[in-house]
Amino acid sequence: MIHPTAIVSPDAKIGKNVEIGPYAVIEDNVTIGDNCYIDAHVKICRYTTVGSDCCIYFNALVGAEPQDHRFYRGLISFCEIGHHTVIREFVTIHRPPFEQLKTVVGNHVLLMAFVHVAHDVVIGDHVTIANHTQLSGHVHVDDGAVLSGFVMIHQFCRIGSLAMIAPTCLIGQDVPPFSMLRETNYICGPNTIGLRRANLSPNTRLAIRRAIKTFFFEGLSSPHALEQIAKNNNDCPEVEMFINFIKQSNRGIMPGNPKYTGVNDDVRDALESGATAPRG
């Protein structure tokens, strides 16, 4: 199932039931898993591994040399793509400029058209990144995060698990897990829909929302807010993840919306806990 115009290195390892389209280029030291679809004009560069059941669409460039002054030809570094991942048109993914390191895209990831994944980026599983979003070097995106289109992320920033990023955001600091970052570049609360889709219990969702509210919207300093969250946490691992993410931040945390007023908190608390919403 390899088109006669495709150029496939004899050193590449191609799995079973792999389709490679017209004018695709598969370089040396590439491994492609079973049941993959490689569209026309795709280039998969050396030292790249693609897992099984992946689809890579027209003109994508996977495992390319990085845009970094420290890189030199002949340096061996890697690009690793997980299983069941979809890479759409004109996506670019670069390997690191450092020996033996790797850029990683996880399992069940969707990278929409024109997404750029720079060197040393690590993307977790079940992540969705929409069109034209750009990830600078060393960015980490944790499992289940959703990034909308035209988002720009500064190098070394982290996006936490199940975070939701609105379109056109300019991200220069970390976004904690379970949080929602609005177009205004402020955290506005939890990613409520994402938490429900992840099948988290009502009590867990409530604990997460209260932790986010305490940290961002109660006017406390970061150490005092984390102390208060930990004091009120009843062994919820998701809240512990939230606390640890903030403690481990090197770039700082994106700010909360200063216009947040806390309207309808009682209603939200009741809904998250599964109780009947108060009247009035």
Q: Specify the CATH number for the domain of residue 75.
A: 2.160.10.10
Out of 90, 113, 138, a domain closes at: 138
Catalytic residue among 137, 189, 194, 256: 137
In a domain, 63, yes or no: yes
pLDDT at 262 over 70: no
pLDDT at 82 over 80: yes
pLDDT at 280 over 90: no
Question: Is residue 108 among the annotated active site residues?
Answer: no
Out of 138, 157, 172, a domain closes at: 138
Out of 138, 159, 186, a domain closes at: 138
Question: Is residue 160 among the annotated active site residues?
Answer: no
Catalytic residue among 119, 140, 143, 174: 119
The CB density around residue 49, as the number of other CB atoms within 10 Å, is 19
pLDDT band at 175; cut points 50, 70, 90: very high
Q: pLDDT higher for 270 or 192?
A: 192
Does 105 share its domain with 221? no
In a domain, 220, yes or no: yes
The sign of the torsion formed by the CA atoms of 158, 163, 164, 166 equals negative
**Average pLDDT along the chain:** 93
Catalytic residue among 39, 53, 120, 143: 120
- Predicted local confidence at residue 260, as pLDDT: 57
In a domain, 80, yes or no: yes
Least confident of 37-41, 95-99, 172-176, 256-260: 256-260
Instruction: Please give the residue range of the domain that contains residue 50.
Output: 7-138
- Predicted local confidence at residue 258, as pLDDT: 67
- Predicted local confidence at residue 126, as pLDDT: 98
Strand-strand pairing, 122-123 and 102-105: parallel
Q: Specify the CATH number for the domain of residue 239.
A: 1.20.1180.10
pLDDT at 274 over 80: no
pLDDT at 133 over 80: yes
pLDDT > 70 in the chain, percent: 92
Does 132 share its domain with 202? no
In a domain, 190, yes or no: no
Question: Is residue 269 among the annotated active site residues?
Answer: no
